[in-house]
Chains A and B, each alone.
Chain A
Amino acid sequence: MLLVPKQLRRSGMTGDVPYYGGRFTPAQAYAASHPSHPHPQPAAAPAAAPEADPLPALQQLLDTGVITAEEYQDLRARVNR
């Protein structure tokens, strides 16, 4: 059977979420009109700073269960490339 789709309003689970037609939301408009102060630039790292060894950090992620043994092996292989 042929069905002619009709347009329906969008709504959220908790009710109608305001639609601004692609324009700024009030929160965005407020942020645009109240620019935050620029963050101070971080101090430049020493040019010859040695690279941190990622393996202990990986090991810690494994030990604390954040990554699996398989992910550990995969990441370790990437580090060693």
Chain B
Amino acid sequence: MGPVQVLVVGFDHAAFSGEILAEFTRLRQAGIVRLLDLLLVARAGDGAVETLAMPAGADAGLGGLAAALLGQPEGKEQTGADTAGDSVWSLADAVPPGSVAAVALIEHLWAGPLTAAIQKAGGAPLEETWLAPDDLAVLEALMNQRIEEELR
């Protein structure tokens, strides 16, 4: 499968717009990304994380995959891969106490062949990040400038 991104988005309240799910449907139909699962969580003031029911109209089965992947049974020691020395994260780091968040598992279908090609060529990832909005604006201005120069 292609690389899977975990997107955690905070909301002021538990209401969840169907517009976001509609956009995921469009992207899936275009073969760009696939929404593997969607989980709504609330974090109480004492830090406890609780899963929320999906809003009416959404697939009732949503959330199970993400909960199993990102959570563990209460009182159980963490099992799985040894994370010592690695950069790690958890939902507790991402969701502030007293807030609500949607957690999406998104498979980037388009990136599978690219990643395979990079690995086949022996490429090793050194850095990978997203541009900040300010830098994105600079990039857009530079691109517009280049287009203007080419049109002259």
A: which residues have CB within 8 A of B? 1-19, 21, 27, 64-66
Contacts and interface: CB of A to CB of B under 8 A. Distances in A.
A37 B126 CA distance: 26
A14 B125 CA distance: 6
B48 interface: yes
Closest 9 CB pairs of A and B: A12-B128, A5-B91, A19-B87, A3-B71, A5-B90, A6-B72, A5-B92, A10-B87, A7-B88
Contacts of B48: 2
Interface residues on B, range: 35 or more
Contact of B148 (A10, A11, A65): A65
Interface of B: 3, 5-6, 41, 48-51, 67, 69-76, 78, 80-81, 83, 85-92, 108, 111, 114-115, 118-119, 123-128, 141, 144-145, 148
B89 A2 contact: no
Contacts of A21: 85
Contact of B89 (A10, A13, A14): A10
A66 B141 contact: yes
Contacts, number: 100
A9 B88 contact: yes
Contacts of A19: 85-87
Given A1-B50, A13-B5, A16-B125, A6 B90 contact: yes
A13 B119 contact: no
Given A10-B86, A10-B87, A15-B119, A2 B74 contact: yes
Contacts of A5: 49, 70-72, 90-92
B90 A64 contact: no
A14 B92 contact: no
B85 A64 contact: no
B126 A7 contact: no
A16 B128 CA distance: 9
A3 B125 contact: no
Given A1-B50, A4-B74, A17-B127, A9 B87 contact: yes
Contacts of A10: 86-89
